[in-house]
Amino acid sequence: MFTIGCHLSIAKGFAAAARDAGSIGANTFQFFTRNPRGGKAKSLDAGDLAAFADVREQFGIERILAHAPYTLNPSSSKPETRSFALQTLADDLNRMERIMPGQLYNMHPGAHVGQGSEVAIGMIADTLNAVLAPEQTTTLLLETMAGKGSEVGRTFEEIAAIIDLVDLADHVGVCLDTCHVWDGGYDIACNLEGVLEEFDRIIGLERLRAIHLNDSKNPCAAHKDRHEKLGEGCIGFEALAAVVNHPKLRNLPFYLETPHDKLDGYAQEIARLKDARSTSVA
């Protein structure tokens, strides 16, 4: 089973987003829980959620991935920014239990603004310890980052250090973004095997729960984070096809976050990946 989708808007509701996914050949999708720059989430509509369940059934959508606003910073030096991140994460995790239990919720770990990554890692873990609860069915994912500015989570060591400090670590996993790890200095084009071995040694591959599949506008180790359409960037289509076909990755859900203004662009990438998936596996 190939679980493939892309980032979609939920501005018209969850049922409409699932219909969009079905219309482009996707069987999963990612969405922002609220405005990506933060702010208040729209209240959940019971009618929409019921319709969402029906549309999922229709298109075989068994998994979804939520994405936290990317401006949340649980490792800010400002207490009010940290507390806003905590409130938002707690609210989002509660909403996930109503939207669809047992799913994935991805966040950027944070950025340290002067206080250093060690202090930041402790602050991020404190926030996770405050928002995770044993009865939650949602798994919270930390996304691997490109290392732009003072982003935490560029190295596998930083991600592992956060998880090490979380009490309910079985509620935490990792989302690997191919553009981010590449920009962060992990050469998945020439050495995918070596990068996965390193991930396994430092974090553990059992923690890896989702892949953001993006090409990159910049060379390996550029620390930039500019996504590109598959095959039009520095990683290249062949290397990204190897990611979706890798025996240790192929059962994970894959999400395109490539720059397209129209759904058609995603439909074409999904079709091309389905093709690469079937032809390169004996």
Residue number with CB closer to Fe ion (72 or 166): 72
Q: How far is CA 113 from the centre of its chain?
A: 23
For the chain, the straight-line distance linking the first and the last C-alpha, in angstroms and rounded, comes to: 15
- Judged by CB under 5 A, how many residues of this single chain contact Zn ion? 1
User: Could you tell me the smallest distance in angstroms from the CB atom of residue 184 to Zn ion?
Assistant: 11
Percentages of the chain per state (helix, strand, coil), in multiples of 5? 40, 15, 40
Examine residue 225 and tell whether it contacts Zn ion (CB under 5 A): yes
At residue 152, φ and ψ (nearest 5 deg) are -90, 140
Residue number with CB closer to Fe ion (55 or 141): 141
Identify which range of 6-14, 57-65, 182-190, 206-214 contacts Fe ion by CB under 5 A: 206-214
- Judged by CB under 5 A, how many residues of this single chain contact Fe ion? 3
Return the closest-CA partner of residue 152 out of 195, 115, 203, 204.
115
Helical spans, DSSP H, in the chain: 14-23, 46-59, 79-99, 117-131, 156-164, 178-184, 192-202, 237-245, 263-279
DSSP 169: G
For this structure, is 7 an active site residue?
A: no
Site string for Zn ion, 95-134 (x = CB under 5 A): ----------------------------------------
User: Could you tell me the smallest distance in angstroms from the CB atom of residue 31 to Zn ion?
Assistant: 16
* Dist CA 205 CA 209 (whole Å): 9
Residue number with CB closer to Fe ion (15 or 147): 147
3-state secondary structure of 259: coil
For this structure, is 223 an active site residue?
A: no
For this structure, is 171 an active site residue?
A: no
Residue number with CB closer to Zn ion (60 or 149): 149
Cα 68 to Cα 14, 110, 276: the distances in Å are: 16, 11, 31
Examine residue 154 and tell whether it contacts Fe ion (CB under 5 A): no
Site string for Fe ion, 167-196 (x = CB under 5 A): ----------x-------------------
Identify which range of 88-96, 101-109, 155-163, 222-230 contacts Zn ion by CB under 5 A: 222-230
- Yes or no: say if 238 and 244 are a contact pair by the CB < 8 Å rule: no
Site string for Zn ion, 136-175 (x = CB under 5 A): ----------------------------------------
- Yes or no: say if 186 and 243 are a contact pair by the CB < 8 Å rule: no
Catalytic residue among 82, 227, 255, 269: 227
* Dist CA 162 CA 155 (whole Å): 11
Catalytic residue among 63, 212, 215, 266: 212
Catalytic residue among 37, 45, 54, 201: 37
* Dist CA 85 CA 108 (whole Å): 11
Residue number with CB closer to Zn ion (215 or 225): 225
Q: Which residues are catalytic?
A: 37, 67, 70, 108, 143, 177, 180, 212, 225, 227, 257
The residue ranges that bind Fe ion (CB under 5 A) are 143, 177, 212
The residue ranges that bind Zn ion (CB under 5 A) are 225
